[in-house]
Amino acid sequence: VVAGVLVVSIGGFVLAELLDAGPADADSDLFFEDPVADLVVQLLGIAIAIPVVLWGARVIGRRPAGTVSSVVGRLRWGWLGRCAAVGFPLMAVQIGVLIAWTWNDEPVGESGTGFPGWPVFLLSLAVILALVPFQAAAEEYVFRGWLVQVVGRAVRTPWPAVAVASLLFALAHGFGELSGFLLLLYSALWWGWLVIRTGGLEAVIVMHVANNLLAFGLAAGFGELASTETAADAPWQAMVAELVFAPLYCLTVARIAGRRGIERVSP
């Protein structure tokens, strides 16, 4: 953990130095005044949860670290790829629907500074593509991997654990709009069900990565990386869209898993 914190700190300060970015104002929620440097620190700060969780499973839980990933003791990359073929197009459609629906309320980019220019945009995309998959996966390892397994073992059934982990997942994003909290809780419950149904984290990692890549990519393009808003601030339209798209993805993937004989329990 200490090593991870040091890596994040050093990486953030090195990038800040390269970008000539000073620290943010004392009353700011950001670490650095440059949004790209700040994004690196925030993403790495979450991503270090992956080795921490795997270490905890191996050393404290006294079991193979890979059992956090799936019932077969590792990430099933082929299965993850099939989930991506479903999840990425579906997430693109969902975000497109949401943008079209809310365009008259607040057009995309209205609250940002506008296109930052190609050098900054491409640097932002490089950071997003390199780090967001690890950040999104880390949240899944914590909330739908380790936490569900630990609580599930204590109560001898996974479903109370899914409920507890889903609530904590929603709360971890902060307090914003009621619609945002309900969206996070609703999504987390479906994703928790999908983890149990497919015996691993692959399907939910895909959807989380797809969501965050598209969201951060749009933010980078419209100069909104410095925004402190999270999914907890999502409008009611996003909640309504999630009512449809979350079960659509989860039920589709669960059906594919059943047809392909994806393992649901440890061999």
| 234 part of a folded domain | yes
> Is 87 contained in some domain?
yes
Owner of token pair 């956090």? 68
Whether 58 shows a pLDDT value over 70: the answer reads yes
CA dihedral 99, 42, 192, 229 (to 10 degrees): -40
Residue 158 placed within a domain = yes
Range of the domain at 217: 73-260
Between CA 196 and CA 149 the distance in angstroms is 10
Q: How confident is the model at residue 2 (pLDDT cuts 50, 70, 90)?
A: very low
In a domain, 97, yes or no: yes
- Domain assignment present for residue 207? The answer is yes
Domains held by the chain: number: 1
| Per-residue burial over 40-61, b = 16 or more CB atoms within 10 Å of its CB, e = otherwise | bbbbbbbbbbbeebbebbeeeb
Contact 188, 145 (CB under 8 A): no
Asked if 23 and 32 count as a contact pair (C-beta separation under 8 A), the reply is yes
Mean per-residue pLDDT of the chain: 89
Task: Tell me which of 267 and 134 has the higher pLDDT.
Answer: 134
DSSP H helix total and E strand total for the chain: 10, 0
* Cβ neighbours for 261, distance < 8 A, ≥ 6 positions apart: none
In a domain, 186, yes or no: yes
Signed CA dihedral, 54, 152, 199, 265: sign only: positive
**pLDDT tens for each residue of 160-200:** 999 999 999 999 999 899 999 999 999 999 999 999 999 99
| pTM attached to this predicted model | 0.90
Q: Which of 18-22, 127-131, 162-166 has the lowest mean pLDDT?
A: 18-22
**Residue 154 to residues 38, 145, 161, 256, Cα–Cα distance (Å):** 38, 15, 9, 31
> Would you put residue 70 in left (φ > 0), alpha (ψ -120 to 50) or beta?
beta
* Percent of the chain's residues with pLDDT above 90: 76
For residue 27, give both structure tokens: 């009353």
What average pLDDT does range 145-158 have in this prediction? 94
Q: Is residue 27 part of a domain?
A: no
Report yes or no: 32 and 21 within 8 Å, Cβ to Cβ.
yes
The answer to whether position 23 is within a domain reads: no
Locus of tokens 């009353």: 27
